[in-house]
Amino acid sequence: MMNIILLGPPGCGKGTQGEILAERTGIVRVSTGDLLRDAAGKGTPLGKKAKSYMDQGLLVPDEVIVGLLREVLASARAAKGVIMDGFPRTVAQAEAVDTLLTERQRRVDQVLFFDVPDEELLRRITGRAAAEGRSDDNPESFRQRLVAYRQQTQPLVDFYRRRGILVEIEAVGSIPEIAARVQARVGM
């Protein structure tokens, strides 16, 4: 049973590394970004509400996300733990994750922080826009996502560092190199 959070700026590679980690450990990876894009694609009420925020590079409001987290963390597939990709992204969400895990006699075990310089992020995001055609991977919304990250998400680095569960990963290099660093630090 391991509950692992992947933390880092947009374009830091945590989605890719999360998939590799999930495959290797058998722990399910959950991405709120994927869940929201799926809901937006289906045109559900949640998806409609989320889409305008996502397209602008803004965070979807906490009350929407906390409802989603409750469903995710209560689901059967999360019973063996979960790799949290893209959440929590605010202190309020981090507190909600703590509450929801504590209710199940669980806790956050490790937080992997993927550290990447800004210029490298911008270079990567431009490549991904071409490859995947994501509507929020253009330079303007990328810049806004980086602002949202700095203002709302970056405080979580200290939040978890103070708790002694932050693991810093130098996330520059090839995908296999970074995956090897993750494996060495996660210890599984």
The residues binding ligand AMP (CB under 6 A) are 10, 31-33, 36, 53-54, 57-60, 65, 86-87, 89, 93, 136, 145
Give the shortest CB-30-to-ligand AMP separation in angstroms. Answer: 10
Q: Tell me whether residue 50 or residue 179 sits nearer to ligand AMP (CB atom).
A: 50
- The neighbour count for residue 4, using CB atoms within 10 Å, is 25
Task: Write down the catalytic residue from 29, 37, 89, 106.
Answer: 89
In the annotation, is 128 catalytic? yes
Give the shortest CB-149-to-ligand AMP separation in angstroms. Answer: 9
DSSP secondary structure of 99-152? HHHHTTT----EEEEEE--HHHHHHHHHHHHHHH--TT-SHHHHHHHHHHIIII
In the annotation, is 145 catalytic? yes
139: tokens are 């330079």
Q: Tell me whether residue 27 or residue 54 sits nearer to ligand AMP (CB atom).
A: 54
Task: Write down the catalytic residue from 29, 37, 51, 145.
Answer: 145
In the annotation, is 51 catalytic? no
Give the shortest CB-86-to-ligand AMP separation in angstroms. Answer: 3
The residue with tokens 């210029």 is 119
Question: Left if phi > 0, otherwise alpha if psi is -120 to 50, otherwise beta: which for 11?
Answer: left
Task: Write down the catalytic residue from 49, 128, 143, 161.
Answer: 128
The residue with tokens 């002694």 is 164
